[in-house]
Amino acid sequence: MENEKERLHVVMFPWLAMGHIIPFFHLSKCLAQRGHRVTFISTPRNIERVVNKVPSDLAPLLHILSFPLPKVENLPNDAESSMDIPYQKAQFLKIAFDLLEIPLTNFLESSSNPKPDWIVYDYASHWLPQIAGKLGVSRAFFSLFTAATMSFYGPPWALLNDERSIPEDYTVIPKWIPLETKVVYRLHEIKKNFEAPADESGTSDGVRFGASIDGSDVILFRNCVEFEPEWFSLVSELYQKPVISIGVLPPSVVENEKFDSNDTTWLGIKNWLDKQNQDSVVYVALGTEATLNQEELNELALGLEKCGLPFIWVLRDQPIHNQEDSRIQLPDGYEDRVKNRGVIYKEWVPQTKILSHSSVGGFLTHCGWNSVIEALCFGRVLIMFPVLNDQGLNTRLLQEKGVGVEIPRNEKDGFFTSDSVAEAVKFGVVSEEGELLRANARQMSGLFGDRKRNEELIDDCVGYLMENRISISK
Ligand SMILES: O=c1ccn([C@@H]2O[C@H](COP(=O)(O)OP(=O)(O)O[C@H]3O[C@H](CO)[C@@H](O)[C@H](O)[C@H]3O)[C@@H](O)[C@H]2O)c(=O)[nH]1
C-alpha cells in the first residue's frame, strides 16, 4: 500500500482459548493480506501453538507480540489457555488474563509507530474498552458466537445487571426475545457453566460480556447472516450500535505436499480415510474445553461401538474431575474391539482437513461454533452433543435449521445411553429418514463455504474500519 494513511494498524487481543485464538489469528491474516498492519497479542505458549506460522509474505505486516502470563494461585504453571485446565478452573485463568491489563495499556500508550487505529478484542477483557477509549483507539468487540447466542445472552444492561442468577433462569426465553424459538439451555448444560464460580475472579461472565459490548464502537460477528437472519436483526436492535457480519472465515484446506509430508498425524489419518467408503465415517470431537466424566465417556464409547460405522475419535486426555492425577479411561478391551473400524487420537489433529475428506459422512460434535462452521463449510451433517458454554444454544439453533440430530439426554442431569448415541449417529449418517438433514447440511456448504461472499464481507468490514477510526474522525 503506497499511501501510509490508507493503511490501518489493528491490534488483536483474543481471550486465552484455542477456539478464540484461532479465529482471531485468521482475521489477522485477512487484514494483513489486504495490506494493513496487525499486532497480534497473546501469551508465549499460545503463540507457539497457533500463530508461529506467519506466512512469509505477510510477516512484514503481521507482528506477533508475546505477553508472559502472570502467575496466579491455583493455576498450574504452564497453563495458558482453557485447554490446559478443567473448565471448573476457568476463573483462575481469567484472574491471570485480567493482569494483562498493565502490559496491554503500556503497549497502547507507547505504540506510536504507527499508533493503533483499532483494537479488536474478546468478551473476557471487560476493562479494555475504557483504556482504549482514553487513548484514542477505536474499539471493535469481536463475537465468536452466533447472533442467536448473543441475543439470548442479552443487551448490555441485562448482562451488566446479571439479570439471571440461577440456572433455571436460562431454561426459558428471556423477555427481550420476541421470536418463537426453542433456543434456550437445558438445565444440565447451564449447570455446567455455574461450576466455575465468578466470585473467584471477581467478575462474572455476564459483566465481562456486558462491558465488552457496551464499551465498543462496533460489534463484529463471525457468523452467516443468511443462516440466522432473524437473530441478526434482533441482535442489532438489542445493541443499538453498529453490528457487522464479517462472514464465517471459512477454513482453507490447501493441499501442500511439502508441509503435509512432515505432518505424520495427518498422513496416518489420511491414509486411513482414503481406504474408507465415501460419506461413511463419523468424525467425533468435542473441542478444547468440554470434558466428560467416566460414565459419560463409557456410554459414548459403547455407542460408537454399537453404531457399526467407521469412526475417528479425538479424545482429550483429561483428568477425572477433582482428581488431577488419575485420567479417565476407555472401557476395558475397547480399543481392540473397535480396531480397524474405529481410530482414536489423543493428540491435536488437523480437524478441518479431516472434515474436508470425502469419506467423512457426519460429525459428532459438542457444537462449539468453530467446529460447526468448519463442518457446514464442508456440508457435513451434525450429530449434536452439547456440553457447556454456548453449545446448547447452538444445538437448538442448528436443530431449528434442520442440519443435525441431537443425542437425546435427560434434561436435568444430562444422562444418556450408548443406545441413544448409536441411534442418533445412524439416523444422521446413514438412515433414509436422515436424508433431509444430510441434504440441508450439504446445501450449507454453498453458504458457509462461499469464499467470494466471505471475502466481500471482510472487504466491507475493512471499509468500515477505515472510515470510522477515531484517529481520522478527530
Ligand atoms: O485436535 C484438535 C482440536 C481442535 N481443533 C480446532 O480447535 C477449534 C475448536 O473450537 P470449537 O469447536 O469452537 O470448540 P472449543 O475449543 O470448545 O470452543 C470454545 O469457543 C467456541 C467459540 O466461542 C465456543 O463456541 C465453544 O463453546 C467454546 O468451548 C476448531 O477450530 C478445531 O478445528 C483442531 O484443529 N484440532
For residue 348, give the ligand 1 atom closest to its CA.
1
Nearest CA to ligand 1 atom 6: 351
Tell how far the Cα of 163 is from the centroid of ligand 1, in angstroms: 28
Cα dihedral across residues 75, 81, 86, 88: positive or negative = positive
Give the least confident one: 50-54, 68-72, 120-124, 371-375.
Answer: 50-54
Rg, Å, the chain Cα set: 22
Tell how far the Cα of 23 is from the centroid of ligand 1, in angstroms: 10
**Ligand 1: which of 83, 153, 288 to mutate, judged by most atoms within 8 Å of the beta carbon?**
288
Tell how far the Cα of 342 is from the centroid of ligand 1, in angstroms: 22
The CA-based angle 133-137-139, given to 5 degrees, is: 75
Tell how far the Cα of 21 is from the centroid of ligand 1, in angstroms: 10
Tell how far the Cα of 104 is from the centroid of ligand 1, in angstroms: 25
Whether 281 and 310 have beta carbons less than 8 Å apart is answered as: yes
For residue 394, give the ligand 1 atom closest to its CA.
25
C-alpha torsion 280→281→287→291, nearest 10: 110
Question: pLDDT digits over 360-384, tens only?
Answer: 999 999 999 999 999 999 999 999 9
- Please tell me the distance from the alpha carbon of residue 66 to that of residue 44, in angstroms, as a whole number: 6
Question: pLDDT digits over 402-427, tens only?
Answer: 999 999 999 999 999 999 999 999 99
- For residue 247, what are the contacts with CB-CB under 8 A and spacing of at least 6? 222, 223, 224, 453, 454, 455, 457, 458
- Please tell me the distance from the alpha carbon of residue 371 to that of residue 386, in angstroms, as a whole number: 12
**Ligand 1: which of 51, 53, 153, 351 to mutate, judged by most atoms within 8 Å of the beta carbon?**
351
Tell how far the Cα of 109 is from the centroid of ligand 1, in angstroms: 33
For residue 23, give the ligand 1 atom closest to its CA.
31
- For residue 105, what are the contacts with CB-CB under 8 A and spacing of at least 6? 131, 135
DSSP code for 398: H
Ligand 1, residues at Cβ distance < 6 Å: 17-20, 22, 144-145, 287-290, 314, 348-352, 368-371, 374, 389-391
- For residue 211, what are the contacts with CB-CB under 8 A and spacing of at least 6? 126, 127, 129, 156, 160
Tell how far the Cα of 35 is from the centroid of ligand 1, in angstroms: 28
Residue 345 has pLDDT above 50, yes or no: yes
Q: Which residues pair with 220 in a beta bridge?
A: 142, 244
Residue 262 has pLDDT above 70, yes or no: yes
Closest CA to 50 of 18, 81, 76: 18
Of the two residues 4 and 69, the one the predictor is more confident about is 69
Q: Which residues pair with 320 in a beta bridge?
A: 323
Of the two residues 287 and 6, the one the predictor is more confident about is 287
Closest CA to 384 of 365, 368, 402, 369: 365
Confidence tier at 451 by pLDDT (50, 70, 90): very high
Nearest CA to ligand 1 atom 1: 348
Q: What is the pTM of this model?
A: 0.96
- Please tell me the distance from the alpha carbon of residue 286 to that of residue 283, in angstroms, as a whole number: 10
Whether 366 and 290 have beta carbons less than 8 Å apart is answered as: yes
Tell how far the Cα of 472 is from the centroid of ligand 1, in angstroms: 37
Residue 47 has pLDDT above 60, yes or no: yes
For residue 388, give the ligand 1 atom closest to its CA.
27
Nearest CA to ligand 1 atom 31: 370
Tell how far the Cα of 134 is from the centroid of ligand 1, in angstroms: 34
Order of strands, sheet of 62-66, starting from the edge strand that comes earlier in the sequence: 62-66, 37-42, 9-13, 118-121, 138-143, 218-221, 243-245
Tell how far the Cα of 246 is from the centroid of ligand 1, in angstroms: 19
What was the pLDDT predicted at 88? 86
Nearest CA to ligand 1 atom 26: 368
For residue 314, give the ligand 1 atom closest to its CA.
1
- For residue 68, what are the contacts with CB-CB under 8 A and spacing of at least 6? 43, 44
The ipTM, to two decimals, is: 0.99
Residue 255 has pLDDT above 70, yes or no: no
Tell how far the Cα of 474 is from the centroid of ligand 1, in angstroms: 39
Amino acid at 294: Q
Tell how far the Cα of 245 is from the centroid of ligand 1, in angstroms: 20
Extract the C-alpha cell encoding 154: 442479552
Q: 291: helix, coil or strand?
A: coil
Q: 193: helix, coil or strand?
A: helix
Confidence tier at 229 by pLDDT (50, 70, 90): very high
Question: pLDDT digits over 456-468, tens only?
Answer: 999 999 999 999 9
- Please tell me the distance from the alpha carbon of residue 129 to that of residue 211, in angstroms, as a whole number: 8
Q: 11: helix, coil or strand?
A: strand
Tell how far the Cα of 19 is from the centroid of ligand 1, in angstroms: 4
For residue 350, give the ligand 1 atom closest to its CA.
35
**Ligand 1: which of 18, 343, 346, 385 to mutate, judged by most atoms within 8 Å of the beta carbon?**
18
Closest CA to 224 of 210, 251, 245, 201: 245
For residue 144, give the ligand 1 atom closest to its CA.
23
What was the pLDDT predicted at 253? 75
**Ligand 1: which of 360, 370, 378 to mutate, judged by most atoms within 8 Å of the beta carbon?**
370
